[in-house]
Amino acid sequence: MIEVDWARLKAHELRKLANENAVVILPIASIEQHGPHLPVMTDTRLGQEIALRAAQKAYSRRAVVVAPVVWSGLSEHHMPFGGTLTLSHDTFRRVLRDLIDAITRQGFKDILISNSHGGNIIAMQQILDELTPISEATLVATTYVMEAGEDLSKHLEDQPGVMHAGEGETSMMLVCEPELVDTSNLDKIASPETEGDFLSVGRSSYRWRPFVHMTENGLAGNPVRSNAIKGEKMIEAGARAIAELILDPKTWAPAKDLRLPGTGGVPF
Ligand SMILES: [Zn+2]
């Protein structure tokens, strides 16, 4: 198997990958509570697994290297349950900016931020809004749960999609770290049904609330029918979606410039 893990490569091998115009996947995740049955590394571990498998899938058509997972994400909303480490928005922005800068200075031109934690989504997009006009690299970001969408949720029996520490994440962790999953009480820990999105009311409002607003024990969904067979299918679906995104020429195509002569003036 080809080595795609940045941390396991030697400097001269990474210089060669930059010369070959390899894509860099920069996974971003969290260390946060995941209910009574999953370890706090869940988002970090799953994000790493999906990124490494995606790189392997894409490699025959385009070289890909996976940077170490940025485990330190935005998890303030999970702090009340304990076990959670979080950054401030300002620090998170600076960490990503500096890592993207370090990757770009080595000559890599296409960087995919592959996110595996819901709390990072808005900040990740804001960071790209800020960096893209000044970065020499093409910056693209996605969250595997959304990128794979229906290909993930079709494997779930007791919840509509991947939810925090529910059937999907538990199944995938039974593949990646089975000895760290406590399966002794899976039939008793489902979260009560909650209405809609706990961060909104009405049609379009937004309100920040901690995760304790929607769950008694830190998980959302129902992990009772979690198993490694569906977990394996879900990890593969997530990796496939990321690989397809990497291989789609539109992902890295330059922005069009439709300005008529005499209408522009500011380069972008
Ligand atoms: Zn999670």
C-alpha 34 – ligand 1 centre gap (Å):
6
Share of the chain above pLDDT 70, in %: 99
> 177, exposed or middle or buried, with CB in 10 Å at 0-12, 13-18, 19+?
middle
> Using 50, 70 and 90 to split pLDDT, how confident is the model at 195?
low
Cβ neighbour number for residue 39 with a 10 Å cutoff: 17
Q: Output DSSP code: residue 259.
A: P
Q: How far apart are CA 173 and CA 226, in angstroms?
A: 10
| Tens digit of each residue's pLDDT (9 = 90 or more) over 101-131 | 999 999 999 999 999 999 999 999 999 999 9
Helix axes 42-58, 167-176, angle to 10 degrees: 70
Give the mean pLDDT of 59-85.
98
Q: Output DSSP code: residue 137.
A: S
| Tens digit of each residue's pLDDT (9 = 90 or more) over 157-167 | 998 999 999 99
The answer on pLDDT for 196 being more than 80 is no
Q: Output DSSP code: residue 5.
A: B
Q: Could you tell me which of 28, 83, 69, 45 has the C-alpha nearest to residue 170?
A: 45
Q: Which of 66-80, 139-153, 195-209 has the lowest mean pLDDT?
A: 195-209
Q: How far apart are CA 39 and CA 17, in angstroms?
A: 34
pLDDT at 200: 85
C-alpha 219 – ligand 1 centre gap (Å):
9
Q: How far apart are CA 212 and CA 223, in angstroms?
A: 18
- The domain ranges of the chain are 6-252
pLDDT at 214: 87
| Strands (DSSP E) found in 80-169 | 110-115, 138-143
C-alpha 47 – ligand 1 centre gap (Å):
9
Q: How far apart are CA 266 and CA 5, in angstroms?
A: 39
C-alpha 139 – ligand 1 centre gap (Å):
24
| 3 state SS of 123 | helix
Please give the CATH architecture assigned to the domain spanning 6-252: 3-Layer(aba) Sandwich (3.40)
C-alpha 103 – ligand 1 centre gap (Å):
27
Q: What angle do CA 169, 175, 181 make, to 5 degrees?
A: 65
- The H or E element spanning position 111 is strand 110-115
C-alpha 199 – ligand 1 centre gap (Å):
17
Q: How far apart are CA 120 and CA 209, in angstroms?
A: 15
Looking at the DSSP bridge assignments, the partners of residue 141 are 113
Alpha-carbon distances, residue 247 vs 35, 59, 242, 243 (angstroms): 36, 9, 9, 6
| Tens digit of each residue's pLDDT (9 = 90 or more) over 83-103 | 999 999 999 999 999 999 999
C-alpha 212 – ligand 1 centre gap (Å):
15
The answer on pLDDT for 261 being more than 90 is no
C-alpha 77 – ligand 1 centre gap (Å):
13
